[in-house]
């Protein structure tokens, strides 16, 4: 942050949000829960058109020996997401506080040297011999256990957040241009028709935010696309041997493996992912990415990888691909783009590979800032996610 902008919102408590993914729905929920009137516009015809259409993902903390900025922010984010899931979602079908085993493959991941929460037991610990065995890993494999972690189906969270009283969603509304009309921000379609106006505009359209915001003077948030694919299959297609080899909890550390999660067709499935591909703005499902995910599984969980080989054939494997929106420091951008130059124009984007862990926290941060409440993060951490860190001086 150049200087700490004034907190609190003095205008009408009315907001327009572009994008109905994890970011936009989180901002909408946090504002509407505080009494704001919020309209969300999305170009798609329903939930899950962007990266938040991911069938399932993990909310799990990042740990480091010096408990660095990323570790502290993701821990706060995971906590906020799990609380939101507890409040809005159905445990077992929409999410699960399953715990996550992190296979510490190259031994790089280190638990904090000093306790992070003096009063409570640490939620991340070395994995026990029993947990390592349950994952199908050989005794002595370096691994961590994250107790405050689990899987979430992002579409379910988005849907629940958009159902907050005070939130109106309009689908099939592709925003082409952002313009200032008097004291309000207006968003226009390709024909120049006004789709909505409000004193506060929050752009939460992931990588597409760049095209909308780049024409504005001073905009310099360096958003990038990062394509990714998950591979999955139904549990009912597995043999008895394959079923016995499944770990009873998600495993991450080199991509991730999650099983027992319902798909929209009602069948439980297993999932492995994800690929990472820069400089790609399209997200078709690709055969070579299934191959890459098979190799990833063989590294993450070698015994399971061997057992599951037959499931990667073209007749059985299914896939989903999407575009993450990233920023160089792996942390998002939330808040005013330039409080002085562009008053009332905010962004919530750049969630990268951690939207499940970060979007709820970002929504709360935005709403708490606007309503001049206690912030959900200390100020020395807020400056690492605050969008104005990119203002050109």
Ligand X SMILES: Cc1cc2nc3c(=O)[nH]c(=O)nc-3n(C[C@H](O)[C@H](O)[C@H](O)COP(=O)(O)OP(=O)(O)OC[C@H]3O[C@@H](n4cnc5c(N)ncnc54)[C@H](O)[C@@H]3O)c2cc1C
Query: Which chain residues interact with ligand X by CB under 6 A?
Result: 18-24, 41-44, 49-52, 54, 57-58, 154, 173-175, 204-206, 208, 212, 228-230, 273-274, 322, 324-325, 349, 351-357, 359
Nearer to ligand X, 175 or 391 (CB): 175
d(CA 1, CA 333): 11
* Residue 91, φ and ψ in degrees, nearest 5: -65, 140
Q: What is the nearest approach in angstroms of ligand X to the Cβ of residue 175?
A: 4
Q: What is the nearest approach in angstroms of ligand X to the Cβ of residue 178?
A: 10
Nearer to ligand X, 115 or 211 (CB): 211
**Of 194, 183, 168, 186, which is closest to residue 12 (Cα–Cα)?**
183
Nearer to ligand X, 61 or 136 (CB): 61
Q: What is the nearest approach in angstroms of ligand X to the Cβ of residue 239?
A: 27
Nearer to ligand X, 59 or 382 (CB): 59
Q: What is the nearest approach in angstroms of ligand X to the Cβ of residue 25?
A: 7
Nearer to ligand X, 317 or 380 (CB): 317
Q: What is the nearest approach in angstroms of ligand X to the Cβ of residue 251?
A: 12
Q: What is the nearest approach in angstroms of ligand X to the Cβ of residue 58?
A: 4
Cα atoms in the Cβ-side hemisphere of radius 13 Å centred on 53? 17
Nearer to ligand X, 260 or 352 (CB): 352
Residue whose token pair is 């919020």: 38
Contact indicator for 163, 156 with CB cutoff of 8 Å: no
Nearer to ligand X, 138 or 202 (CB): 202
Query: For residue 8, how far is the Cα from the chain centroid?
Result: 26
Q: What six digits make up the tokens of 250?
A: 């998600």
Residue whose token pair is 């970011």: 23
255: left (phi over 0), alpha (psi -120 to 50) or beta: left
- Which positions ≥6 away from 15 have C-beta within 8 Å? 27, 28, 31, 36, 37, 38, 39, 198, 199, 200, 201, 202
Q: What is the nearest approach in angstroms of ligand X to the Cβ of residue 261?
A: 12
Q: Beta strands 37-41 and 14-18: pairing type?
A: parallel
d(CA 357, CA 85): 11
CA–CA distances in Å: residue 174 to residues 2, 195, 197 = 33, 9, 14
Q: What is the total residue count of the chain? A: 393
**Of 133, 153, 156, which is closest to residue 251 (Cα–Cα)?**
133
d(CA 254, CA 233): 19
Nearer to ligand X, 130 or 180 (CB): 180
Q: What is the nearest approach in angstroms of ligand X to the Cβ of residue 342?
A: 18
């Amino acid at each position: 942050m150049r200087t700490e902008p004034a907190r609190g919102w003095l205008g009408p408590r009315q907001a327009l949000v572009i994008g109905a993914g994890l970011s936009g729905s989180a901002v909408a929920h946090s504002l509407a829960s505080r009494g704001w009137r919020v309209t969300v516009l999305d170009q798609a015809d329903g939930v899950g058109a962007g990266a938040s259409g991911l069938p399932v993902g993990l909310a799990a903390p990042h740990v480091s020996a010096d408990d660095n900025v990323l570790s502290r922010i993701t821990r706060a984010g995971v906590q906020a997401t799990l609380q939101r899931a507890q409040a809005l979602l159905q445990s077992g079908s929409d999410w699960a506080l399953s715990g996550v085993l992190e296979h510490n493959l190259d031994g790089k991941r280190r638990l904090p040297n000093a306790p992070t929460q003096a009063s409570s037991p640490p939620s991340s610990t070395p994995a026990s011999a029993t947990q390592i065995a349950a994952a199908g890993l050989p005794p002595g494999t370096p691994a961590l256990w994250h107790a405050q972690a689990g899987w979430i189906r992002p579409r379910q969270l988005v849907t629940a957040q958009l159902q907050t009283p005070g939130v109106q969603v309009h689908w099939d509304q592709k925003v082409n241009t952002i313009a200032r009309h008097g004291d309000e921000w207006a968003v226009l379609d390709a024909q120049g028709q006004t789709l909505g106006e409000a004193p506060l505009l929050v752009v939460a359209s992931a990588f597409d935010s760049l095209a909308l915001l780049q024409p504005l003077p001073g905009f310099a948030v360096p958003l990038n696309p990062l394509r990714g694919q998950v591979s999955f299959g139904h549990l009912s297609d597995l043999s008895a041997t394959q079923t016995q080899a499944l770990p009873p909890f998600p495993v991450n550390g080199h991509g991730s493996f999650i099983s027992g999660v319902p798909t929209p067709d009602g069948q439980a499935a297993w999932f492995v992912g994800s690929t990472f591909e820069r400089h790609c703005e399209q997200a078709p499902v690709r055969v070579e990415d299934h191959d890459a995910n098979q190799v990833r599984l063989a590294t993450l969980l070698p015994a399971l990888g061997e057992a599951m080989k037959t499931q990667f054939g073209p007749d059985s494997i299914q896939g989903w691909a999407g575009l993450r929106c990233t920023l160089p420091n792996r942390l998002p951008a939330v808040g005013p783009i330039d409080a002085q130059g562009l008053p009332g124009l905010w962004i919530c984007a750049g969630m990268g590979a951690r939207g499940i862990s970060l979007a709820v926290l970002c929504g709360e941060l935005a709403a708490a800032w606007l309503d001049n409440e206690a912030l959900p993060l200390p100020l020395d951490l807020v400056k690492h996610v605050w969008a104005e860190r990119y203002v050109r001086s």
